[in-house]
Structure 1
Amino acid sequence: MPSKGVQVFTYIGVPDISIELSVPKQTITRRDQGFWSGSLEVEARNIDSFFNKKGRFTFKVFHRGNQITEQWIDVNALTGNASGGTMESIAETPSIFHDNFIISYGLYEAGPGHDPLPNQHQCYVTVTQNYTNWITNLAPPGSDFEKKPFHRLVLPSAHDVGMNSMESSAALLRKVGGAVVSTMLTRTDDKVCRVVDKLSGYPIELIAPNIIYSLSITQKDSLESMLRIGARYFEFRPARLHSSIRGRDALPDKLYFMHSAIPGMGYDTFLEGIVKFLRANKNEIIVVQLRWDGVPSDCAHPSSEEKKQYLEKAIRDHAGGEINVGNLDDMKHRTISELRRDKKRLLMLDSVDTLSTYTDDGNATINGQSIVDAFPRVLEDRGAQRRAGFVLIQCQATATNIQKALLHSIKDAGVTTSVLLATKGLCDHKTLPWCRDNVVDRCELGKTVVLMNDWLDGATVDVAVGLSRRRLAK
């Protein structure tokens, strides 16, 4: 009989939690802390209806037997499609904050399966403690850990933080239409251009919103939620709108995060959120790096004066005199205590050289194995680590660099079919355990380490905080 699989990846980081996974006539309950993966099968023979062969995949999270949440989607055992329920769209799966727990989750719809993408639906669920004040709790004021250098910390990072919603892109589409967006995509991204050429006559502009979702959206939580989950390092690429649409009143003429030429979060909105968080959480410290990788020249880059004006406005309007801005020298040489004493809790970097584990070939993967293989090769060069401003470990896959995967992402683009989301669980369950087991020994103690990921989740943060604790103890 026909069936459709759901591959599930879980991480439990706190005691007394259980995760119940179910499909018709099959239930799995996970209680052990740590990483786990397994599969459930929605089988037609287990669905009582003769005509309707949809079976519900559900996960429930319990704390000491009390249900915290239930999320579900219907899976058609005949066609493989998944629809309805609470996980039908990436935007409908925000992290859940409950008491002192955070539940992060997401679903990739595989449909009938397209090589080389997974042919099973992919669901990930992480349950960890609330890390709103993790640096405060790890290195409390007056503690021995607070006297240690800030660079001992391993900072969790949300990759492409500004691409966490369709707000800017949707406003742009409403004003100028999908044709202009598709022109922007093909003018600035050779990979997309080659794929579009293969789809001659295909109405790309009609599915422009779904293409943006599938290729550009890398986060789904608000900035405030990402900070509460535990992110403490952000890369931001501020630039003006593409010249083909600037001046057409599609969006306010200001600096936005740019994913190629696709606009995301406003730079002013980002800085305001960061400063407000730091003012509310008085012992936390955040690092922001400005850079412009992949931002085309058609998107005007800000001058030094403009960057200064944006930052000064955020500090003036929202810091209340409680936050000063630090720099790379502060990150490299000050203790946590000294940064707090001098109120330098926002460290701003600009195009600082890093030792990054990212490579175009290594991160062009579905299952993450080539990412893990690259980790030791990059990190074995201790001289390069010492010369770099800091070490950047990138756990996210860039499956959009695989042409067949990119083809399906554009042709079958939808709000649950993101090629980036397809790799989340598969990669995390290889990259994060490797980092947990190896970073302390393989990374220079005198360099800050950043742990970056798409779809920021509790497991990424939990691993980073555990590594920070071990590095501070040395």
Structure 2
Amino acid sequence: MPSKGVQCYSYIAVSGCEIHFSVPGTNIVKNQVKVFGNNHLEVDKKNLKGPFNFVGTFSFRVLHDGNEIANESVNINVVSGNLEAGTLKTMENQQAVASSGIIVAYGYYDAGPGVAGLPSSDQCYVTVTSDQSGWMGQVAPQGSGQAGQPFSKLFLPAAHDIGMNSMQNADAVLSSNAIVDALIKINPTFAKIASMMSHDAVMAIAPNIVRGLAITQKDTLSTILSLGCRYFEFRPAYLHNAIRGLHPIPDVLYFSHSAIPGMAYERFLADTVSFLLAHPDEIVVVQLRWDGVPAECAHPSDQDLANYMNNALAASNGGLVQGSIDDMLHLTISQLREQHKRLILFNPVDSFSTYTDAGNATLNGDSIIAEFNQLSPQVQAGKPFTNLQCQATASNIRDAVVYSVLAANASSSCLLATKPICDAKTLPWIVQNAGRLDGNQLVVAMNDFFDGATADVCIDWSRKRLS
């Protein structure tokens, strides 16, 4: 009989919590703490009532001490494999749920039949962790011996391409022929898809192409900070010259993914400052970068950057000042707090990154692990910090992107497909092997669709490295 599989990934870091994954005829309960769960379910016709009923419901519920804090579901057609009604149908609706000091982060990928190496089973991941808005204050309380240690001993959770958490600004510019034509020239994958159809058709599906290539986060910056993220990379630039003069959106700095505008830089800074003012023990690190930003997207001047920072810090009335890379490398946690340097921001530096075009262009994560296995203090030597990049750039695998875009489902992003598959390998690797790294050099672990498991693993290592 026809059926559709759902691979269920889970991570719980709060005692008393349970995740119930359900399909007709089967219910799996996960309740072990700090275990990476990986289970398979099938929505099978044989368990659906009625000879002409081919739709079954997949759901997950999260309970804390018996009280429900999250409940999400979607109907799946077992013949076509397509998603029908439900809260998990679109990626944009898959927002983390916060309740009573607990955050449930989750995602759902709508799989096809397994084209281009992509999974044939739907993928669902759920992480259940404490609200980590104040984790630095917990692992290094003011006045403690831990706070007196160098900030560089920390192991920071990081969100990859934080500015690409929404299609709002991208949608506003994609109605322009000029920007679509520019993307065709800049991006080989965009060009490949465009070559398969008329220009009118390309214009119609341009948002789907961008979603498949560029959307790497789902939650708001506020939620991602509450999950525990403390390191970001931001690529601030102005709109592409082809559309800047048309003013489709305000003429300010945006996160730039190639020529695609994401989050406004002023919004990123304002929300970060607001978070830091509300959480006086926390410290956030931001590296500005411009790799991959085309020259046609004007880069900010030093004065532009200073103005943006000064405007953001004004809300603190002197309670926050900008820290530097030197401050990050040489001051203790206490000194950074005492000097109010809790927003550390610097221009590009030559950090050590595990990312390679070949290694991260993967659908199963094995090549990322191969890069991780090369790590040692000798490899890290001479670098200001180390960046473990957990996310797969399946968007560099052209056939996978082409299929994801042409499938045209809002939950068919190839980046979302690989997220739980890779996390099931990279995060356990960090748990088991990060002790081999230089314990005095700052480490960040970066991930797409930032989640509680990524944060929890890093926070545990921060605690160990400060002990």
TM-score normalized by structure 2?
0.97
| Contact preservation (8 Å) 1:440, 1:470 | no
Residue 338 of structure 2: aligned partner: 341
- Which whole-Å CA distance do the structure 2 matches of 1:299 and 1:342 have between them? 36
Residue 113 of structure 1: aligned partner: 114
Residue 225 of structure 2: aligned partner: 227
- Which of 273, 276, 299 is equivalent to 1:275? 273
CA shift for structure 1 position 79:
0.6
Q: Give the residue type in structure 1 aligned to 2:259.
A: A
Superposition pairs of residues 295-310 of structure 1, within 5 angstroms: 295-310=293-308
Q: Give the residue type in structure 1 aligned to 2:218.
A: K
- Which of 456, 459, 473 is equivalent to 2:450? 456
1:364 aligns with 2:358: no
Gaps of 5+ in 2: none
| Contact preservation (8 Å) 1:178, 1:206 | no
Residue 260 of structure 2: aligned partner: 262
Residue 3 of structure 2: aligned partner: 3
CA shift for structure 1 position 383:
4.0
| Contact preservation (8 Å) 2:447, 2:454 | yes
CA shift for structure 1 position 171:
2.1
Which segment drifts farther, 202-211 or 74-83? 202-211
CA shift for structure 1 position 112:
3.4
CA shift for structure 1 position 195:
3.9
Q: What is the aligned length?
A: 466
Residue 163 of structure 1: aligned partner: 164
Residue 384 of structure 2: aligned partner: 389
Percent identity of paired positions between Structure 1 and Structure 2: 45
> Over aligned residue pairs, what C-alpha RMSD do you find?
1.3
| Contact preservation (8 Å) 1:178, 1:209 | no
- Which whole-Å CA distance do the structure 1 matches of 2:226 and 2:414 have between them? 26
Q: What is the CA deviation profile of residues 428-469 of structure 1, one whole-angstrom value per residue up to 9, with x for unaligned ones?
A: 01000101111122x212211011000000000000000101
| Contact preservation (8 Å) 1:242, 1:298 | yes
Residue 320 of structure 1: aligned partner: 317
| Contact preservation (8 Å) 1:81, 1:112 | no
Change (3 A) 1:90 1:224: same
Superposition pairs of residues 73-472 of structure 1, within 5 angstroms: 73-173=74-174, 177=175, 179-199=177-197, 203-316=201-314, 318-377=315-374, 379-380=375-376, 382-441=377-436, 443-472=437-466
Q: What is the CA deviation profile of residues 175-215 of structure 1, one whole-angstrom value per residue up to 9, with x for unaligned ones?
A: xx164443232122123323433456781111112222221
| Contact preservation (8 Å) 1:156, 1:452 | yes
Q: Give the residue type in structure 1 aligned to 2:81.
A: G
SS of 1:451's partner is: strand
Q: Give the residue type in structure 1 aligned to 2:347.
A: D
- Which whole-Å CA distance do the structure 1 matches of 2:19 and 2:191 have between them? 43
- Which whole-Å CA distance do the structure 2 matches of 1:293 and 1:97 have between them? 35
Which segment drifts farther, 209-218 or 254-263? 209-218
- Which whole-Å CA distance do the structure 1 matches of 2:317 and 2:345 have between them? 18
| Contact preservation (8 Å) 2:7, 2:38 | yes
SS of 1:21's partner is: strand
Q: Give the residue type in structure 2 aligned to 1:32.
A: Q
Q: Give the residue type in structure 2 aligned to 1:211.
A: I
Q: Give the residue type in structure 2 aligned to 1:166.
A: M
SS of 1:297's partner is: coil
CA shift for structure 1 position 410:
2.5
Q: Give the residue type in structure 1 aligned to 2:14.
A: V
Residue 63 of structure 2: aligned partner: 62
- Which whole-Å CA distance do the structure 2 matches of 1:178 and 1:90 have between them? 24
- Which whole-Å CA distance do the structure 1 matches of 2:275 and 2:187 have between them? 35
TM-score normalized by structure 1?
0.96
- Which whole-Å CA distance do the structure 2 matches of 1:438 and 1:237 have between them? 31
Q: Give the residue type in structure 2 aligned to 1:297.
A: A
| Contact preservation (8 Å) 1:178, 1:207 | no
Q: Give the residue type in structure 1 aligned to 2:357.
A: D
